[in-house]
């Protein structure tokens, strides 16, 4: 009887220990509310009673899932670490690629800048050449313009002189054509002065005076046009304006002098219209 009680006491004690251990495990698992199954589970098996009536101590199996969670976390961390390493490797590789690309871009920019500098220098050189050429053209144009102005003034002056000369010649020709008329008037006056037969003296004198007045007026108009008489009597013979038609023996003091003017000579400006026909003295 006492043995039976002792067995029952032992079974009760073992049951209480099992319950206490189960409670402790449950309490430990309940500290992580989100995943009780992930944190750990305590499984208990029912007590088995042997056939001989003795109660055996139940076998308690505890499965701690926190270890698996930790392992999963470690694996995840390793995966993340490996992923991070891969990302770092990819980032490093991408960075190296970016550096190479930047280097290539920088070299391309440098080449382009060098080409632009070269083109700029060429453009500046062409600009300087164009400026110099334009200055040369402008200088040549100014010289040509000045030369043209001088030539124009000279041409204008030459044309003016030519016109005046032609006008002078034309006027001289007109005056020369009138000299015969003047000569006839002067001859009429000279004949009237030497006439001896004067039947009607008053009428003759009136006619003579009228002819003389006409001749003087006509000669005055010709002088206004530029006619000049060549002075001959008493002057030294000048072959340029005198035409010697007679010679006379004279004393030495009258040698080569114009004794008589047979026909008056005239000049028109510097032009000799006709020489004076004269009688010249010649000493023996």
Residue 85 belongs to some domain of the structure: no
Residue 186 belongs to some domain of the structure: no
Q: Give the count of alpha carbons within 13 A of 254, CB side only.
A: 14
For the domain that residue 234 is a member of, what is the CATH number?
Answer: 2.30.22.10
pLDDT digits (tens, 9 = 90+) for 93-148: 555 666 777 777 788 888 889 999 999 999 999 999 999 999 999 999 999 999 99
Residue 23 belongs to some domain of the structure: yes
What is the pTM (predicted TM-score) of this model?
A: 0.42
Domain boundary among 36, 63, 90: 63
pLDDT digits (tens, 9 = 90+) for 34-74: 444 434 443 444 444 444 444 444 444 445 445 544 555 55
Residue 15 belongs to some domain of the structure: yes
Q: Which two tokens stand for residue 232?
A: 């001959």
Domain interval for residue 264: 227-284
Q: What b/e string do you get for 37-57 counting C-beta neighbours within 10 Å, with b at 16 or more?
A: eebbebebeeeeeeeeeebee
Residue 209 belongs to some domain of the structure: no
Q: What is the largest CA-CA distance in the chain?
A: 235
What is the Cα–Cα distance from 65 to 68, expressed in whole angstroms?
A: 5
- How many domains in the chain? 2
Residue 264 belongs to some domain of the structure: yes
Residue 174 belongs to some domain of the structure: no
Domain boundary among 63, 80, 98: 63
Residue 267 belongs to some domain of the structure: yes
Domain boundary among 63, 78, 107: 63
């Amino acid at each position: 009887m006492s043995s039976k009680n002792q067995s029952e006491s032992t079974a009760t004690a073992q049951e209480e220990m099992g319950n206490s251990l189960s409670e402790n495990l449950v309490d430990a698992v309940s500290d992580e509310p989100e995943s009780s199954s992930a944190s750990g589970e305590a499984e208990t098996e029912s007590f088995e009673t042997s056939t001989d009536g003795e109660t055996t101590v139940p076998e308690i199996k505890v499965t701690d899932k926190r270890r698996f969670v930790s392992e999963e976390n470690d694996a995840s961390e390793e995966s993340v670490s490996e992923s991070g390493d891969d990302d770092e490797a990819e980032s490093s590789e991408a960075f190296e690629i970016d550096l190479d690309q930047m280097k290539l871009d920088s070299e391309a920019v440098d080449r382009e800048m060098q080409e632009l500098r070269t083109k700029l220098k060429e453009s500046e050189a062409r600009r300087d050449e164009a400026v110099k050429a334009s200055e040369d053209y402008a200088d040549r144009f100014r010289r040509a313009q000045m030369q043209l102005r001088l030539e124009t003034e000279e041409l204008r002056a030459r044309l003016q002189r030519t016109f005046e000369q032609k006008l002078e010649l034309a006027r001289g020709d007109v005056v020369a054509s009138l000299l015969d008329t003047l000569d006839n008037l002067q001859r009429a006056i000279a004949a009237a002065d030497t006439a001896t037969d004067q039947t009607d003296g008053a009428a003759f004198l009136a006619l003579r005076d009228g002819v003389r007045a006409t001749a003087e007026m006509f000669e005055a108009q010709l002088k206004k046009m530029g006619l000049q008489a060549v002075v001959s009597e008493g002057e030294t013979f000048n072959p340029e304006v005198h035409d010697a038609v007679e010679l006379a023996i004279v004393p030495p003091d009258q040698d080569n002098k114009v004794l008589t003017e047979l026909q008056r000579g005239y000049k028109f400006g510097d032009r000799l219209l006709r020489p004076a026909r004269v009688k010249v003295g010649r000493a023996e």
